Structure 1
Amino acid sequence: MNAEIDISNVKLETERLILRPWRITDLDDFFEYASINGVGEKAGWEHHKNKNESLEILKMFIAEKKVFAIVLKKNQKAIGSIGIEECRHDLNKNLEKLLGRELGYVLNKDYWNKGIMTEAVSKVIDYCFKTLKLNFLIASYFNYNIESKRVLEKTGFKFYKDIIVKTRYNTEEKSTLMFLKNKN
């Protein structure tokens, strides 16, 4: 079910963005948005307390080879990330025979509600379906995170089921799991 992923040599471009592997030199940009209260929490993790915490996570992103940095073309600033994660949720038994992954994303608060995440997610969907030949993608959002819901709806994801997500900071959040099938 979970396809192998290695984005270490992948660079995707949109009108405003470059999606590329993270680099250690992105640490300041990463810490800038990951340390803001309310950013990580909308994605299920606590905001970073210091640069060392961000550095360790950045090293993990680089080693795992499955998380894109979202970089603005105009100034080369890393403003978010999109991970092509392993599917973590119970899915229909028929899907277990197909290749799929789960998308997770986060964006610097200064760039919310500008269509940037929709642009980035659309490009990653295209990459997953046309290049990686995945059969499906899933993604979830906390029910209170209307912005994330809108991104998924705009990029073609459909309701799959209601779920409860246990976060990294020991809360349980009512959430929705969304599904997108490769129609190619």
Structure 2
Amino acid sequence: MDLPIETNRLQLTELTLADLTAYEKLISIPEIAAGAGFNLVSNQQMLGAVAKRQIATPNSFGIRIHDRLIGAILLYEQVGFDHQPDPANLELSYFLHPDLWHQGIMSEALTKLIEELAVNPTIETLNAEVFSDNQASKGVLKKVGFQVKTTLIDPLVGKEKTIYQLALQ
């Protein structure tokens, strides 16, 4: 995939260690921390380690407006039935600075990324989990074409999650 990926308003780039400080600030924002589970990390040093690991993961994209990191989209290989990473089925995670919510930015970023991923014949599905009470995030997923697959109770926080899937092939 050729980066950066651009729209009229934003740019998707690879996340690098140069983004670490800005990334840590984003995941420390209470609304982002609660939605993505970062609030379960007990101290700043551990949060920094999580941030470094996420940035170093392939397919970690920064969402930028005017070169400012405002959010991220992370894709992880799901674990298959053979207990091995499955590069055909990816788990999607994303977050955006709360000051920019409800402006269509995440829908725009995901739509553009999905267009790029759809030309890769090896990627079959994208899956995403969202807390069932997060109506805005559920709306984003529906808007970009995801379908509800199931619901479950998250074992770490005891809250209901909705699982969404998007078939690319």
TM-score of the two chains, using structure 1 as the length reference: 0.77
Provide the secondary structure at the position in 2 that maps to 1:39: helix
CA distance in 1, matches of 2:19, 2:87: 35
| Residue type at the aligned position of 1:83 | L
Greater fraction of residues in strand: 2
Aligned partner (choices 50, 70, 79) of residue 57 of structure 1: 50
| Residue type at the aligned position of 1:80 | G
Per-residue deviation, 1:152: 0.3
Unaligned residue ranges in structure 1 (runs of 5+): 1-6, 91-96
Which residue matches 1:35?
Answer: 28
Per-residue deviation, 1:77: 0.5
Which residue matches 1:93?
Answer: none
CA deviation string 1:16-59 (max 9, x = no partner) = 11111112232332233211112121122218754x55543332
Are the aligned partners of 1:35 and 1:47 in contact in 2 as well (CA < 8 Å)?
no
Provide the secondary structure at the position in 1 that maps to 2:62: strand
Which residue matches 1:127?
Answer: 116
| Residue type at the aligned position of 2:106 | M
Are the aligned partners of 2:77 and 2:90 in contact in 1 as well (CA < 8 Å)?
yes
User: Closer, same or farther in 2 for the Cα pair 1:155/1:44, shift >3 Å?
Assistant: same
Which residue matches 2:159?
Answer: 173
Identical columns (%): 29
Pairing 1:158–2:151 present: no
Cα RMSD, aligned residues only: 2.6
CA distance in 2, matches of 1:110, 1:47: 23
| Residue type at the aligned position of 1:63 | A
CA deviation string 1:83-141 (max 9, x = no partner) = 11123698xxxxxx992211111111111111111111112212221136412111121
The structure showing larger relative contact order (alpha-carbon pairs under 8 Å, at least 6 residues apart) is 1
User: Closer, same or farther in 2 for the Cα pair 1:132/1:80, shift >3 Å?
Assistant: farther
CA distance in 1, matches of 2:136, 2:98: 12
CA distance in 2, matches of 1:132, 1:46: 36
CA distance in 2, matches of 1:55, 1:174: 28
User: Closer, same or farther in 2 for the Cα pair 1:138/1:126, shift >3 Å?
Assistant: same
Provide the secondary structure at the position in 2 that maps to 1:104: strand
Pairing 1:18–2:16 present: no
Per-residue deviation, 1:159: 1.1
Which residue matches 2:73?
Answer: 82
